[in-house]
Structure 1
Amino acid sequence: MQVTETLNEGLKRGYAITVTASELDEKVTEKLKEAQPDIEMKGFRKGKVPMPLLKKQFGQRVLGETMQEVIDGAMNQHFEDSGDRPALQPEVKMTNEDWKEGDDIHVEMTYEALPEVPEFDASGIVLERLVVKADDAAVDEALESLASSAQDFEDKDGAAEDGDQVVIDFVGKVDGEAFEGGAAEDYPLALGSGSFIPGFEEQLVGVSAGDEKAVEVKFPEEYGAEHLAGKDAVFDVTVKAVKAPKAAEINDEMAQKFGAEDLESLKNQIRERLEAEYAGAARQVMKRALLDKLDELVSFELPPTLVEAEASQIAHQLWHEENPDVHDHNHDKIEPTEEHTKLAERRVRLGLLLAELGQKAEVEVSEAEMTQAIMNQARQYPGQEREFFEYVRQNPQMQQQLRAPIFEDKVVDHIVEQAQVSEKEITKDELQKAVEALDDE
């Protein structure tokens, strides 16, 4: 096998690989010899079929498989010898398209090599970790929100308003005929909850206990029951009671509804949760500051193809954000701007840098961390968690999408451990402004 360099410009590489006919024939013979003991053929005992006959019978079939293996082997040997790591899958093609058995194989391989990432001293990086304590006002605000969510309803005089609860009997009819599942008694309906067909709840605003009302609605075209989809319906409604919302009292009894022993325990739980949320937000601010410093600190040549692909993806994503009504990709090609390319260069540079640092530090994503990430994603598909879990398990690309952010965060933590980190206590509002500033950049 002969390998000749044909291109070496920046990170672009090109090689001409020649595999001689004798090498290929030798590999084919090796394969046939391995299979020979198990081959049976009429007129010969098992394992005693002569090699020339084997080549005539099976040679063509083995040849194609062997050619691919030889070319793959030549590529792997090249990368092992050169130390190059391709940024993307190398482009490989045979240059002697009129090849016939007995000819040498001539292959052209081109790729962009990953750059050498320069060393740097993380101990020289200075960072600031923002710290926010959950004050009593924040805890009280969270308590009031919980009390509101745990609200009860009490009878009221007068007309129902949005947010009130009406207790109703109703019978639904289509074309004058009652339909299955369209009736109930003493049904508690919170007005404004959106739990009934569009237009139903709005027509009950203003009713009082004892009122009877014919509510006219139209079932949505995409309604689950096909025999009702798109149909006009009338619901004969009798209002039994009108109730106003009443927030739960903030006391030990309410705390126990949320699984706490008493009110003080619930306050402590809220304080811990709030401070965990603040810490998570503060971490994002510090991570951005770290990435900014790394972007300034480390510079190296980038594979053009990676930058172009990233810029195109950024341009495409931003275009869809600006055109939310377009859900498919049947649109003109989105050309990246200079701004898109600049952002792509930053992302590619930081991605390669973090990947290199993670590899050197032997950072790994554990099976437990992957399982937790899959479970977190699966919660977005209630009732289909098992199917989603299996889908991810069988989809390497999806696994990589979930693994990448975990790996990145672990590498960031590794760098932070070596950096000079000071703490600064600030208010919740100041933290909020710092987080909002991340979106503005």
Structure 2
Amino acid sequence: MQVTETLNEGLKRGYTITVTADELDAKVQEKLLEAQPEVEIKGFRKGKVPLAILKKQFGTRILGDAMQEAIDRAMKDHFDRTGDRPALQPEVKMVGGETWKEGQDVVVEMTYDALPPIPEVDASKIKLERLIVKADDKAIAEALENLAKSAKSFEDRKKGSKAKSGDQVVIDFKGSVDGELFEGGSAEDYPLELGSGSFIPGFEDQLIGAKVGDEVSVNVSFPDNYGAAHLAGKSAVFACTVKAVKEPKPAEIDDELAKKFGVEDLATLKAQIAERLEAEYKGAARAVLKRSLLDQLDGMVKFDLPAKLVEAEANQIAHQLWHEENPDEHGHNHGTIEATEEHIKLAERRVRLGLLLAEIGRKAEVTVTDAEMTQAVLAAARQYPGQERQFFEFVQKNPQMQQQLRAPVFEDKVVDHLVSLADVTEKEVSKEALQKAVEALDEM
């Protein structure tokens, strides 16, 4: 077996791997001898089938396996010997594959981008500021008011009052398209909060100003992407009868409100709110600290980047941003999306930091435990209520999905490792100051 270098420019590598016909034939004979004791063919006792007959019957399949094993071994030996680590799966192409015949040498061309040498980083030179925000009385009071609003009740307005945005109207309605009632378009004594956006766009607005006893024809159009395909994009008329107009009454902020949220009294509820708010502040402060860390790391190191890795990342960024700018397009029949210079610049930063963090984590022996991986899968499964089991099974069978879930956990652990080595000071700030720092992250 021979490996010959054909390309060595920057991080680009190219090699020709030659497996001679004699080597391949020897490998086939070896595999036939391994299989012979277990093979049983009519006319021969088990383990006594002649090699010539085995080769005639199974030779083609065994030849393919032997060829693949030989190439895989040559690639492994090459990477072990050179220390190269490919940035992406190497491209492997058989020379003359369509015309190759048994008895000929097998020649394979292998190309890849090697991972670059990553320079050492002195984490002690990194200076970070951890923002600390306490949950003050004002923030707790605001949270309590929001809880009270969410636990609100509705009481009848005075007779003859007109419905306002925020009021609840109790209605009977019948919906029709082209004069025909449609399934699911009718209801009685339906409580609808005006301004909630729970009905088709434009529906609730047409009930503002209505009084008890009014008959209102609500004219709307179903959205083009409406869930029921037979209604999507069609105009409809809803004949509505207003049976009650109710105004909202926020719940009192007292022990009874606390009990509605599963705690014994208001003091306990306030303590829980304070704990939740400070957890939110801590998460936001970590995002600010992490960005500062990454910015400093990005300025501390420079090294060559694998071109194909940058290209793949830039294309992914361009694709993601295109869909964010075109939220109504859910498919991928949108033609080619070209990456811009801005996308490429961002991709270079992400690839550089990704490789740097991976190398730091490797040297620090940072690992993702089974328990941490399970937590990551559980968190992702919550996005698919009712389908958690199917999601778990999908992840178990999909190594790529496992890597997608493992990567952010690994990155956060490497960030924690670096923060533990950095020069970190704490600064107590207001909630507003923290909010500004978080908003600034999106502007960068």
What TM-score, normalized by structure 1, do the two folds share? 0.90
Are residues 1:237 and 2:220 paired? no
What whole-Å deviation, never above 9, does each CA across 1:362-419 have from its counterpart, x for those lacking one?
Answer: 2222333333333333333333333333333333222222221111111100111111
Are residues 1:15 and 2:15 paired? yes
User: Against the structure 1 CA distance between its residues 397 and 223, is the aligned structure 2 distance closer, same or farther, given a 3 Å change threshold?
Assistant: closer
Q: Map 1:327-406 onto structure 2 (within 5 A).
A: 327-331=330-334, 333-406=336-409
- Counterpart in the other structure of 1:39: 39
Residue 189 of structure 1, CA deviation:
2.6
Range that drifts further, 291-300 or 198-207: 198-207
Q: Which amino acid aligns with 1:352?
A: L
Pick one of 275, 282, 298 that aligns with 1:295. Answer: 298
Q: Map 1:30-429 onto structure 2 (within 5 A).
A: 30-97=30-97, 98-157=99-158, 158-169=161-172, 185-209=188-212, 211-217=213-219, 220=222, 222=226, 224=228, 230=234, 232-235=236-239, 237-239=241-243, 241-324=244-327, 326-331=329-334, 333-429=336-432
Matches of 1:140 and 1:231 in 2, distance apart? Answer: 45
User: Against the structure 1 CA distance between its residues 250 and 195, is the aligned structure 2 distance closer, same or farther, given a 3 Å change threshold?
Assistant: same
User: Against the structure 1 CA distance between its residues 223 and 213, is the aligned structure 2 distance closer, same or farther, given a 3 Å change threshold?
Assistant: farther
Residue 175 of structure 1, CA deviation:
8.3
SS at match of 1:8: strand
Residue 169 of structure 1, CA deviation:
4.7
Matches of 1:320 and 1:123 in 2, distance apart? Answer: 40
SS at match of 1:106: strand
How many corresponding residue pairs?
A: 439
Matches of 1:169 and 1:429 in 2, distance apart? Answer: 46
Range that drifts further, 179-188 or 381-390: 179-188
Q: Which amino acid aligns with 2:382?
A: R
Q: Which amino acid aligns with 1:107?
A: V
Matches of 2:42 and 2:173 in 1, distance apart? Answer: 84
SS at match of 1:154: strand
User: Against the structure 1 CA distance between its residues 167 and 434, is the aligned structure 2 distance closer, same or farther, given a 3 Å change threshold?
Assistant: same
What whole-Å deviation, never above 9, does each CA across 1:62-103 have from its counterpart, x for those lacking one?
Answer: 112211111111111111122111111112223354432222
Residue 199 of structure 1, CA deviation:
4.7
The answer for unaligned runs of 5 or more in structure 1 is none
The answer for unaligned runs of 5 or more in structure 2 is none
User: Against the structure 1 CA distance between its residues 22 and 420, is the aligned structure 2 distance closer, same or farther, given a 3 Å change threshold?
Assistant: same
The answer to whether the 8 A contact 2:171-2:240 is kept is: no
The answer to whether the 8 A contact 2:175-2:185 is kept is: yes
Residue 111 of structure 1, CA deviation:
1.4
Matches of 2:113 and 2:428 in 1, distance apart? Answer: 47
The answer to whether the 8 A contact 1:311-1:340 is kept is: yes
The answer to whether the 8 A contact 1:198-1:217 is kept is: no
Matches of 2:352 and 2:232 in 1, distance apart? Answer: 56
Q: Which amino acid aligns with 1:310?
A: E
What TM-score, normalized by structure 2, do the two folds share? 0.89
Residue 55 of structure 1, CA deviation:
2.2
User: Against the structure 1 CA distance between its residues 120 and 197, is the aligned structure 2 distance closer, same or farther, given a 3 Å change threshold?
Assistant: closer
- Counterpart in the other structure of 1:29: 29
